[in-house]
Structure 1
Amino acid sequence: MPDFTSALYLGFAHPSASLPPWEALTLGRPAALAESAGGRALAQELTRLIGGEAGLLYPSTLHLFRDLFQVAAPKGTLILFDGASYPIARWGADGAAVNGIPIETFPHRDLIALERRVRQARRAGQRPLIVVDGLCPSCGRPAQLPALARLAADAGGRLVIDDTQAIGVLGREPSPIAPLGIGGGGTLAWYGLRSQATIVGASLAKAFGAPFAIVSGASTIMKQLAREGQTRIHTSAASAADVAAGQNAVTINRAQGEGRRARVVRLVEQLRKELEKLGLQSRSELPIPVQAIAMPSLRVAKAVLASLDESCIYGLVTRSCLGGLPSLTLLITARHTTANISRAAAGLACAMDAASRAYHQRVEAA
Structure 2
Amino acid sequence: MINFTSALYLGLHHPSRLLQPWQQLSLGVPAALTEPPGAGEVAQQLAQLQGCEQGVLLPSTLHLFWDLFGMLFQQRAALFLDEGTYAVVRWGVEQFRAKGGEVHTFRHHDPDALLAQIKRLAYGRRKYPVAIADGFCPACGRAAPVGEYLEIVRHFGGVLVLDDTQALGILGEMPALHSPYGKGGGGVLRWSGNSGPDIIVGSSLAKGLGVPVAVLTGSRKLIKRFKTASDTRVHGSPPSVAVIQAARHALIVNRSQGDWLRQRLAQRVTRFRSGLAAMGLNTIGGWFPVQILRGIDGNEAVRVHQFLSRQGIQTVLSRPRGSSVVHLSFLMTARHTAGEIDHCIDVLATAIHGFEETLIVKETKYSDFIK
Q: TM-score, normalised by structure 1?
A: 0.96
For residue 200 of structure 1, give the secondary structure of its aligned residue in structure 2: strand
Q: How does 1:200-279 map to 2 (within 5 A)?
A: 200-279=201-280
The 8 Å contact of residues 161 and 200 in structure 2, kept in 1 or not, is answered as yes
Q: Which has the larger displacement, 320-329 or 310-319?
A: 320-329
Once residues 200 and 365 of structure 2 are traced to their aligned partners in structure 1, the CA distance between those partners, rounded to angstroms, is: 57
Structure 1 SS opposite 2:206: coil
Q: Mark the CA change 1:321 to 1:173 in structure 2 (over 3 Å): closer, same or farther.
A: farther
Check conservation: 1:80, 1:104, Cα contact below 8 A: yes
Deviation at 1:125, TM superposition (A): 3.8
Residue by residue over 1:72-100, the C-alpha shift from the partner in whole angstroms, topping out at 9 and shown as x without a partner, is 23353221211111100111222211210
Contact 2:297 2:328 in 1 (8 A): no
Q: Deviations over 1:293-321 (max 9, x none)?
A: 11343111111111111111011122356
Checking the alignment, whether the CA contact within 8 Å between 1:165 and 1:206 is kept in structure 2 is: yes
Kept in 1, the 8 Å contact 2:141–2:284? The answer is: yes
Question: Structure 2: how far apart are the matches of 1:21 and 1:209?
Answer: 19
Q: Find the aligned partners of 2:282 and 2:330 in 1 and give their Cα distance.
A: 13
Unaligned runs of 5+ residues in structure 1 are none
Residue identity in the other structure for 1:221 = L
Alignment root-mean-square deviation, CA: 1.6
Secondary structure of the corresponding residue to residue 132 of structure 1: strand
Instruction: Give SS of 1:105's match.
Output: strand
* Partner Cα separation in structure 2 for residue 140 and residue 324 of structure 1: 19
Q: Give percent identity, aligned residues only.
A: 37
Question: Contact 1:294 / 1:326 at 8 angstroms: preserved in 2?
Answer: no
Question: How do 1:1-366 and structure 2 match up within 5 A?
Answer: 1-74=1-74, 76-120=76-120, 121-285=122-286, 287-320=287-320, 326-363=326-363
For the residues of structure 2 that align with 1:77 and 1:27, how far apart are their CA atoms?
35
CA distance in 2, matches of 1:122, 1:362: 60
Is 2:296–2:328's contact at 8 Å kept on the other side of the alignment? no
Deviation digits for residues 1-48 of structure 1, max 9, x if unmatched? 210000111111011111111111011111111111111000000100
Give me the whole-angstrom Cα distance separating, in 2, the residues matched to 1:321 and 1:96: 21
Please tell me whether the aligned partners of residues 131 and 161 of structure 1 are also in contact (alpha carbons under 8 angstroms).
yes
Q: Extract unaligned runs of 5+ from structure 2.
A: 367-371
Count of aligned positions: 365
Query: Which amino acid is 1:56 matched to?
Result: V
CA distance in 2, matches of 1:339, 1:20: 35
Superposition deviation, residue 124 in structure 1 = 3.9
Cα contact 2:62–2:92 (8 A) shared by 1: yes
Q: What TM-score comes out, normalization by structure 2 length?
A: 0.94
Partners in 2 of 1:181 and 1:39 — Cα distance? 27
Query: Over alpha carbons, which structure has the higher Rg?
Result: 2
Offset of residue 242 of structure 1: 0.6
Q: What is the distance in 2 between the residues matched to 1:54 and 1:264? A: 29
